[in-house]
Structure formats: structure tokens, C-alpha cells
Amino acid sequence: MPVPIYMTFDVSSALRRAGVIIKEAPDEIRRSVSLAIDRSLETFRTTSVRETAHKYFVKQQYVRAHLTLKKSYGGNMNGAVIASSYRRLLSHYNISPKKPPVKDGTFRGAVKRVGGLKPIPPAFLMPAKNGEMLPTIRDKFGDYERLRTLRSPSVTQLVKNKETVAEAEERARETFEKRLIHELEHVGDY
């Protein structure tokens, strides 16, 4: 399910700092604000991808593939970064050992880079039909048993880390202010 990551800018104060009167050229100014928003969204995505890959055992390419930009157009002046992904298998992050046999109590896994691999005593690896190794736990309910595949957070959950969002927002705001001033300097050139 797609999840938007919200970020707001105080556009009016940035326009006042640039010393622009909206009445003189509203279309050009809206276009300038739209371009600045688009650039700041790209910065937000880039920073989110970099920070997420730095904190978790996930590749930047995979994170970027699950972040979509909804750019602002014309007078709309709204944009969004939309993250959508599903929960992944623990084996897509970091596990040890990667191939069976796994002795009891020796299976370890991690999603975060900090802290290293943590032991998951009842887990073991089970081959799937496609040849992939699935980290699995056997749940017992009285006389019944059920095999459950271990899953980890989705990329959406990783990207929404508070520190990651705060860093990405800060860089996006800086980019927005710089780009807005730059775009407003070229208002008459379009």
C-alpha cells in the first residue's frame, strides 16, 4: 500500500526573502516555485535512499525503486514522495549461515547494520520451489505444527525512520530555498 511521506515548506517567507511581488508575474512565479519543489523532492528522495542504505542491510537501488516522485505541475505547487513496498523475507537483509544445514541455535539475522547479527534460536533454512532459501520457524500449537517464514520490515517502514526523515527534510528545505531564489532570478527568461 503506498504511503506518502509528508513535508511542508513555508513558501510565503521564501518569496518575501527573494523580494518578489506576486502580482507582477504570477504564472512565472508559480512555475519557479514548482521547479524548486520538484528539485527539493529529488533531494529528499536521494537523501532518504542514502540514509536508509547506511542504516540498514538494504541496497540503495532497491530503496530507490520503491520511492516514487509525484512532481508539481503548473499552478498546483504540490508534490509528494510516495513509498510503497511489501514486507521482505529476512534473507533479503543479512543472515548467517546462508545455506543449510543450520545447527540448532546457530541461525542469526539482522536488518539494522548497528548491533550486528542477532541469534534466532528456533529458526532454520528451508529450500523453496524456486531454489531460494527461506528462513523459517516452526510454531507449535499443542499437537499441531505450522511453518512460518520470517519476514522483516518493508522498505516503506525503513524509509520512515524518524532520523532519516528529519535529515531528508532538512536537506530538501535547503535545496528548496536555494532553487527558489535561483529560479526567481530567471523569471523573465522563460
Give yes or no for residue 77 having a pLDDT over 60: yes
- What CA–CA distances, in Å, run from 11 to 77, 174, 185? 10, 13, 16
For 92-137, the pLDDT digits (tens) are 888 888 777 666 667 888 889 888 888 888 888 888 888 788 888 8
Q: Give the per-residue pLDDT at 88.
A: 86
**DSSP type of residue 131:** S
Percent of the chain scoring above 70 in pLDDT: 81
**DSSP type of residue 115:** T
Grid coordinates given for 157: 517502514
Q: With residue 166 as reference, give the H or E element that holds it.
A: helix 162-185
Query: Is the backbone of residue 181 left (phi > 0), alpha (psi -120 to 50) or beta?
Result: alpha
Q: Give the per-residue pLDDT at 21.
A: 47
Give yes or no for residue 151 having a pLDDT over 60: yes
Radius of gyration over every alpha carbon of the chain, rounded to an integer in angstroms = 23
Residue in the block written with cell 533479503 = 92
Residue in the block written with cell 528545505 = 173
Integer Cα distance of 63 and 30 in angstroms: 31
For 12-52, the pLDDT digits (tens) are 565 555 544 444 556 777 788 888 888 999 999 999 999 99
Q: What is the mean pLDDT of residues 137-146?
A: 84
Residue in the block written with cell 522483516 = 152
The alpha-helical segments, DSSP class H, found in 3-161 are: 11-18, 26-55, 60-65, 155-159
Banded pLDDT at 54 (limits 50, 70, 90): very high
Q: What is the mean pLDDT of residues 144-172?
A: 89
- Check: CB of residue 59 under 8 Å from CB of residue 183: no
Banded pLDDT at 65 (limits 50, 70, 90): very high
